[in-house]
């Protein structure tokens, strides 16, 4: 399906992911973690569909379990001793819970990154950083053009060599090494020679004239502004909560949770809204479409 959160201006989405990843890495409080995990999980499934669901269940879930089990095996801090291992080391409640919390944090960050990857395509990244350093945007764009192109070319050369019996996969070990070097050598010559034409094409279209501008297809509209403001308010609330210790959590030597108060309730609500923002935007739009379609 179409992801309407991804259609926002790159600055908005980039800012969103940066703050989400930072928050999930810094906060270990179970309520905040649960909120972040729920938000990241639901958005990854929404943005990438069944493939993400399968990845989450088959890779992330076992990883979570393994990490939770591994921590108490090596970490023996904490005051609540449950039992002793054969080696004589204690297994503590604190280390088990810390293991779980660390694993959840790790997985939440991975989930946010996978969403980031799906949403922040190369051209958005180039656009954002091209504004900071204009020359960089063209260089990045050219890298993205030439790296895949060279890979295709290496394959073609290797293929041509294979059809005369001189590929990396043919002959004795010594022959293979020699063939490999030959393929690289052919590739280098090819790249230099053909690069001349690219240079001509750039020069011919005025590259190198002073006053180059950078064009993009992205526009920052009113909706982007409103969403950015909402995000800023929510993130600020969460940030204040983090600074004031409202959402902090201590594991060692003994467990200590920040108490739940009216203020902390407000912080969690803000965090929950923030984490669920992409999902809510998508749901809202889906609902809107339903209504439009029912009228048509």
Partner 1 sequence: MEAYRIENVSFSYPQTERKALDGLDFTIGSGQFVTLCGQSGSGKSTLLRQFKTILTPHGKRDGIIYFQGEPLSVIDQRRQASEIGFVQQNPDNQIVTDKVWHELAFGLESLGCDQRTIRLRVAEMASFFGIQAWFHKRVAELSGGQKQLLNLAGVMAMQPSVLVLDEPTSQLDPIAAQEFLETLRRINRDFGTTIILSEHRLEEVLPLTERLIVMDQGRIIADAPPVQAGAVLAGLNHPMFTAMPAAMQIAAALQPSSHEAYPLTINEGRSWIGNWMNGKTVGELPQSADEEASEARIVVELKGIWFRYERAAPDTIKDLSLTIREGEWYCIVGGNGTGKTTALSLIGGTLIPYRGKVLVNGKDIQKQGLKERFHRNLGLLPQNPQHLFLKKTVELDLAEMLFDSGLSKEEQQRKVEEVIALTELKDVRFMHPYDLSGGEQQRAALAKILLMEPQIILLDEPTKGLDAFFKEKLADIMVKLTQQGVTIVMVSHDIEFCAKHADTCALFFDGDVVTTNRTRDFFAGNSFYTTAANRMARHLCREAITMEDVIRLCRSSH
Give residues in contact with partner 1 (CB under 8 A).
122-123, 138, 141-142, 144-145, 148-149, 152, 156-157, 159-165, 170-171, 175, 182, 185-186, 189-190, 193-195, 197-198, 200-217
Q: Which is nearer to partner 1, 211 or 259 (CB)?
A: 211
Q: Which is nearer to partner 1, 91 or 138 (CB)?
A: 138
In the three-class reduction of DSSP (H, G, I as helix; E, B as strand; rest coil), residue 8 is classed as coil
Q: How far is the CB of 93 from partner 1 (least distance, A)?
A: 49
DSSP H or E stretch at residue 91:
strand 90-92
Residue 211 per-residue DSSP state = S
CB-CB contact of 140 with 130 (8 Å): yes
Q: How far is the CB of 158 from partner 1 (least distance, A)?
A: 9
Q: Which is nearer to partner 1, 212 or 250 (CB)?
A: 212
Q: How far is the CB of 171 from partner 1 (least distance, A)?
A: 6
Neighbours of 128 (CB within 10 A): 19
DSSP H or E stretch at residue 249:
strand 249-250
Q: Which is nearer to partner 1, 165 or 253 (CB)?
A: 165
Q: Which is nearer to partner 1, 87 or 163 (CB)?
A: 163
Q: How far apart are CA 31 and CA 258, in angstroms?
A: 11
Q: Which is nearer to partner 1, 218 or 252 (CB)?
A: 218
Burial label, 138 (beta-carbon count in 10 A; 0-12, 13-18, 19+): middle
Q: How far is the CB of 14 from partner 1 (least distance, A)?
A: 18
CB-CB contact of 199 with 205 (8 Å): no
Q: Which of 73, 65, 59 is CA-nearest to residue 103?
A: 65
Write out the DSSP string of 47-88: HHTHHHHHHIIIIIHHHHHHHHHHHHHH---SS-EEEE-TTS
Q: How far is the CB of 163 from partner 1 (least distance, A)?
A: 4
Q: Which residues pair with 90 in a beta bridge?
A: 84
Q: How far is the CB of 224 from partner 1 (least distance, A)?
A: 16
Q: Which is nearer to partner 1, 135 or 229 (CB)?
A: 135
Q: How far is the CB of 17 from partner 1 (least distance, A)?
A: 22
Peptide bond into 101 cis (omega under 30): no
Q: How far apart are CA 225 and CA 236, in angstroms?
A: 16
Q: Which is nearer to partner 1, 74 or 215 (CB)?
A: 215
Q: How far is the CB of 5 from partner 1 (least distance, A)?
A: 18
Q: Which of 184, 122, 178 is CA-nearest to residue 153?
A: 184
């Amino acid at each position: 399906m179409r992801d309407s959160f991804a259609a926002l201006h790159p600055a908005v989405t980039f800012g969103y992911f940066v703050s989400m990843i930072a928050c999930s890495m810094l906060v270990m409080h179970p309520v905040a973690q649960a909120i972040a995990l729920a938000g990241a999980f639901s958005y990854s499934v929404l943005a990438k569909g069944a493939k993400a669901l399968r990845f989450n269940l088959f890779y992330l879930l076992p990883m979570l379990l393994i990490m939770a089990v591994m921590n108490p095996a090596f970490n023996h801090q904490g005051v609540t001793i449950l039992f002793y291992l054969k080696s004589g080391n204690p297994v503590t409640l604190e280390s088990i819970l810390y293991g779980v919390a660390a694993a959840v944090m790790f997985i939440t960050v991975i989930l946010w990154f996978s969403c980031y990857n799906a949403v922040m395509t190369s051209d958005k990244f180039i656009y954002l950083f091209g504004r900071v350093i204009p020359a960089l945007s063209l260089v990045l764009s050219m890298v993205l053009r030439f790296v895949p192109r060279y890979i295709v070319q290496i394959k073609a050369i290797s293929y041509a060599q294979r059809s005369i019996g001189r590929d990396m996969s043919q002959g004795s070990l010594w022959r293979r090494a020699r063939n490999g070097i030959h393929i690289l050598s052919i590739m280098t010559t090819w790249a230099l020679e053909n690069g001349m034409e690219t240079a001509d094409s750039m020069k011919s279209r005025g590259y190198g004239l002073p006053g180059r501008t950078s064009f993009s297809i992205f526009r920052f509209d009113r909706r982007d502004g409103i969403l950015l403001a909402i995000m800023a308010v929510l993130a600020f609330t969460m940030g204040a909560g983090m600074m004031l210790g409202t959402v902090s959590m201590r594991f060692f030597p003994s467990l200590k949770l920040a108490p739940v108060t009216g203020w902390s309730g407000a912080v969690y609500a803000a965090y929950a809204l923030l984490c669920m923002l992409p999902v809510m935007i998508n749901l809202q739009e889906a609902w809107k479409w339903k209504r439009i379609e029912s009228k048509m």
